[in-house]
Structure 1
């Protein structure tokens, strides 16, 4: 068990962090702990140990009772919201203090925790998942194969879970052949914690594995599905057949699959309106490019983030190539339902350099698309064409 450092014996050569810096550090430590294969018998890597020490020192400085050990810090993260006054830190203004860093039901990091971790500059640069995506882009760019990158993104969005047979069958997909080894690195064996009666259950809505709770309940890890208290099982996969089951790593499910579903939902809605959106143009310069009948072009980047302040702080101008007339940052509407102040908090934390990127919900964006099509006089014709095709 890790011992509590004494303020008299610890050499405080580093400053004692407070506020957002310490929340980021604790979130990063929690994510690292979740990635360990098993109990470490009180031996933790330097990041986890340093974070625990920092937390204890701030508790002692502010005359609060510190966590007794690293596991106790993890228990705090599951049982105390980040705004709980028993944490020693002071949260920045308008940050949501009602959330926890660990899901008490699944004992895994929450999406808020993952977002805090990504916001930690010293961690984001070393994320394996980020490096995998950059490697995919570079590989496809060097080969002049944008279709391979598009197929890769669709795979991560639409098939977050694969059986061994399905994984092997990807070898026959010519568009994915260029990234075959990289794809294998994106998927990991599904852990036994997702099993019930020897089988894995797949969420009918997002395609991710459901987490069994108790004897007969399941929950989905993605926020977009989590709002439904009774997720529907789309399929069950026998763990004993077919050579095993694989799933995308947790950060990729949260930051690629989750927002990717919002991207493809938008794509489908735009196609129904008679448009032909280009997905992830110029190797992911942004997510969707729409060209309207009168020649105007919109660039759209989609994010499904729980924390509008962290989203605002990380927002940057959209890349200019391929060119566009207007750029939008789009968030699923349910985020606005959850937090009425989502746009205001985002705008408060967004840097001035990204001021030209308007934040909209997906429903608000589609309403603007309809207005643009009405001005072009093409909306009615698109609807008539769809009706004729159905007939």
Structure 2
């Protein structure tokens, strides 16, 4: 038997290739693989191959059996939660329920996309820097805020377009300015969404449903996946019309949160509250004018990981002015994770002015309290005025 000094050195991963850095690398590799239309030459690009190599080293250095190939690494991502991989993460990341690949659709999850981004703002890095900021720039130059608002509403309300609907957008005067940008937002739909010659659209969010097996559909958006029974809205025959859908980052980081934004707009309007959407070319998402002229600014985020949300949080822009600002997440995120708000607070950046996080349900409750207070004050003034007249 060899003595300890005579044994060959064991492979050891560099300290950088551990924990969050390694998780981010694996997430990036999985997203890159999902965007590949077919085998390349070499089969895997340098980013994917290097990630796999470093994962193998990490496993061997920690005494774990590594995945035997890149496809097996992807299988790990579908079958092992991020807490079961041989890396070390902060306890409050709650890796027990988070997977990088959806076991049903075999596509990257929202968690995977969020981890993939090293920048502070997921939507800005993936979408806004490329397409959204281009839209803002063009609308600013033309002094056309209505065009930007119409563009945002299009991405939220119509994530899927037939060829005829796509062509008809050219007749919309508000969208005419951004026709080229819109074309680049939508991609042709791959055949994987077709079942028996038909595409199915989610009745709740308007995105395409993924067919599973013979008779089941699932939606890719987290907000819809919570429903036990996915509802099919319209159906589109594949042979009759070409079909286009927003690219995946736009569906995830614009359409998803956008539905929460427009739901809030509808609820506030029902209460008689004046709401401006995406003021000053998206300074924030909702500008709410309350009785007595108080103004609240609201930014809506729909993130799977509250720790990453906290790290990416920034102060709201100050133009247009407001009295109080809020960061809002859909209530279902708090229902899924009881500690969602606390984890956000622990990881929130130290920059001054970063807003507190509340749910959309809590925001509406605060608005209701403001309205009730205003009504009481009005009633008290009427009472005093009536007594003075008497």
| TM-score, normalised with respect to structure 2 | 0.90
The alpha-carbon deviation at position 139 of structure 1 amounts to 1.2
For 2:180 and 2:362, the matched residues in 1 are separated by: 40
> In the superposition, relative to structure 1, how do residues 306 and 366 fare at CA in structure 2: closer, same or farther (>3 Å)?
same
Moved more, 178-187 or 135-144: 135-144
Q: Distance in 2 between matches of 1:69 and 1:129?
A: 35
Q: 1:309 maps to what in 2? A: 307
Specify the SS of the correspondent of 1:174: coil
Q: What pairs with 1:1-391 in structure 2 (closer than 5 Å)? A: 16-40=16-40, 43-84=43-84, 87-98=85-96, 99-119=98-118, 127=126, 130-242=129-241, 244-353=242-351, 356-377=354-375
What is the deviation of 1:131? 1.2
| C-alpha distance after superposition, 1:58-117 (max 9, x if no partner) | 112222222222111111111111011xx2210123002121100010000011111111
Q: Indicate how the Cα distance of structure 1 residues 265 and 131 shifts in structure 2: closer, same or farther if over 3 A, else same.
A: same
Contact 1:373 1:379 in 2 (8 A): no
Q: What is the CA deviation profile of residues 239-268 of structure 1, one whole-angstrom value per residue up to 9, with x for unaligned ones?
A: 1112x1000011110100000000000000
Cα distance change of structure 1 residues 10 and 181 upon mapping to structure 2, 3 Å threshold:
farther
Larger CA Rg, structure 1 vs 2: 2
The 8 Å contact of residues 24 and 115 in structure 2, kept in 1 or not, is answered as yes
Task: Report the CA distance between 1:123 and its aligned residue.
Answer: 9.3
Instruction: Give the 3 Å change call, closer, same or farther, for CA 197–94 of structure 1 in structure 2.
Output: same
* Distance in 1 of aligned mates of 2:239 and 2:199: 10
Output the CA distance in 2 between the equivalents of 1:123 and 1:342.
18
Moved more, 328-337 or 345-354: 345-354
SS class of match (1:83):
helix
Q: Is the 8 A contact 2:202 2:209 kept in 1?
A: yes
Match of 2:386 in 1: none
User: Within 1, Cα distance between the matches of 2:151 and 2:121?
Assistant: 28
Change (3 A) 1:196 1:289: same
Q: Which runs of 5+ in 2 are unaligned?
A: 1-7, 380-390
* In structure 1, distance between residues paired with 2:229 and 2:16: 43
Alpha-carbon separation, structure 1, partners of 2:302 and 2:16: 32
How far apart in 2 are the matches of 1:128 and 1:256? 9
Say if 1:129 and 1:355 are closer, same or farther in 2 by CA, change over 3 A. Answer: closer
CA RMSD of aligned residues (A): 2.4
Gaps of 5+ in 1: 1-6, 382-391
SS class of match (1:94): helix
Contact 2:92–2:343 at 8 Å: present in 1 too? yes
Q: Given that residues 332 and 362 in structure 1 are in contact (C-alpha distance below 8 angstroms), is that contact kept between their aligned partners in structure 2?
A: yes
Shift of 1:38: 2.0
Aligned length: 371
For 1:8 and 1:45, the matched residues in 2 are separated by: 29
